[in-house]
């Protein structure tokens, strides 16, 4: 539970700081997830949004370039795809849908619909292509993440319908459908976070092969080594949500730092 609580605290604190900045002028974190100002000085920008702006043909200002680089470094070197499970407000929506899905047992009555994990990379590619052709930031103009996040800070309008679409898609059509398959921002951070240091580590010696971790994981493929061999979860799709760590009763999964070179001087990855 402690990681779940930590994630909710992280998600809600970030949201609360943005709201406080807009409504009461508490200038700790201003703006929104697209671009913000930390402590009134440090720019932070969504690198995927900046990439779309660049492909759309906009002049990229120094501020957002620096802001995007800070974010890329933060996730790329340290956190991996942490944005998705520790920051993104949609996470709470899809978690709610998945929780209800489990409670109602929808997966048991529904025929499994096949969706490829790669859809998100196609969506990512198409959003850049459309940005280029139409001279617009294609995903930013329709992004349900931004709609929800902006809505909470600046006023929702009918934005709640976009959120409802994701909720019901995840609830009725495909488990974890938006975050795990479609969202191009998740795909983007999966690519960027591939080489980050904070990683989940698996210890086969302690594992009793209950497979609870694979059951709970929203990106099951990254846990391919479970029951097979000890190792580090190196898949970029892992969001470091720590659900697997929490369900493991054998202490076989834990956060750790990735070692790029092991003691023998050989690369850790295969």
Partner 1 sequence: MAKVAMSDRRRFILGMARAVGLAGMGALVWSSVLEESVASSLILRPPGALNEEDFLKTCIKCGLCVSACPYDTLMLAAPGDKKPMGTPFFMPRDIPCYMCEDIPCVPVCPTGALDEKSVTTESELDINIARMGVAVVDSHSCIAFWGIQCDACHRACPLIDEAIVLEYSKNERTGKHAFLKPVVVPDVCTGCGMCEHACVTEKAAIKVLPREVAMGEVGNHYVKGWDEKDQQRVRDAVSKTTKTDLSEKDVLDTLNDDSGLFE
Q: 209: which 2 tokens?
A: 């092969």
Is the CB of 150 or the CB of 243 nearer to partner 1?
Answer: 150
- Cβ-Cβ contacts under 8 Å for 18 (sequence gap 6 or more): 29, 30, 31, 32, 33, 36, 149, 152, 153
Shortest distance in whole angstroms from residue 49 CB to partner 1? 6
Phi-psi region of 199 (alpha: psi -120 to 50; beta: other; left: phi over 0): beta
By C-beta, is 119 or 198 nearer to partner 1? Answer: 119
Q: Angle CA(215)–CA(182)–CA(71) in degrees, nearest 5?
A: 95
- Beta carbon of residue 152, minimum distance to partner 1 (angstroms, whole number): 11
DSSP letter at 37?
Answer: E
**Least distance (Å) between residue 162 CB and partner 1:** 6
In whole angstroms, the minimum distance from the beta carbon of 183 to partner 1 comes to: 14
From the CB of 127, what's the least distance to partner 1, in Å?
8
Q: Name the residue among 55, 54, 29 with its Cα closest to residue 43.
A: 29
Q: Which tokens sit at 96?
A: 């709610």
Whichever of 28 and 247 has its CB closer to partner 1, that residue is: 28
CB closer to partner 1, 58 vs 69 = 58
Q: Give me the least distance between CB of 139 and partner 1, in Å please.
A: 9
For residue 62, the surrounding DSSP H or E stretch is helix 62-73
CA angle at 54 for the pair 50 and 57, rounded to the nearest 5°: 140
Run of H or E residues at 31: strand 29-32
Which residues are bridge partners to 113 per DSSP?
none
Q: Toward partner 1, which CB reaches closer, 123 or 248? A: 123
Q: Would you tell me which residues interact with partner 1 (CB under 8 A)?
A: 21-22, 25, 30-32, 34-37, 43, 45-46, 49-50, 53, 56-61, 63-64, 67, 118, 122-123, 125-127, 129-130, 133-138, 140-142, 146-147, 150-151, 153-159, 161-162
Nearer to partner 1, 126 or 172 (CB): 126
Tell the burial category of 5 from Cβ atoms under 10 Å away from its Cβ (0-12, 13-18, 19+): exposed
């Amino acid at each position: 539970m402690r990681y779940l609580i930590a994630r909710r605290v992280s998600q809600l604190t970030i949201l609360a700081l943005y709201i406080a900045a807009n409504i009461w002028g508490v200038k700790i974190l201003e703006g929104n997830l697209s671009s913000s100002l930390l402590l009134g000085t440090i720019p932070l920008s969504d690198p995927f949004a900046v990439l779309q702006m660049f492909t759309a043909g906009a002049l990229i200002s120094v501020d957002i370039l620096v802001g995007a680089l800070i974010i890329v470094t933060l996730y790329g070197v340290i956190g991996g795809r942490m944005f998705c499970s520790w920051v993104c407000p949609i996470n709470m929506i899809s978690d709610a849908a998945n929780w209800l899905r489990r409670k109602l047992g929808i997966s048991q009555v529904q025929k499994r619909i096949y969706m490829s994990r790669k859809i998100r990379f196609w969506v990512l590619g198409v959003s850049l292509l459309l940005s280029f052709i139409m001279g617009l930031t294609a995903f930013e103009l329709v992004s349900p993440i931004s709609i929800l996040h902006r809505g909470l800070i600046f006023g929702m309008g009918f934005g709640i319908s976009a959120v409802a679409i994701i909720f019901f898609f995840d609830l009725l059509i495909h488990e974890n459908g938006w975050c795990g398959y479609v969202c191009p921002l998740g795909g983007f951070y999966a690519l960027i976070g591939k080489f980050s240091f904070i990683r989940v580590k698996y210890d086969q010696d302690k594992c009793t092969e209950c497979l609870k971790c694979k059951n709970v994981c929203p990106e099951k493929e990254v846990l391919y080594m479970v029951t097979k061999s000890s190792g580090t979860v190196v898949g970029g799709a892992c969001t470091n949500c720590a659900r697997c760590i929490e369900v493991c009763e054998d202490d076989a999964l834990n956060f750790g730092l990735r070692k790029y070179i092991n003691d023998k001087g050989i690369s850790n990855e295969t």
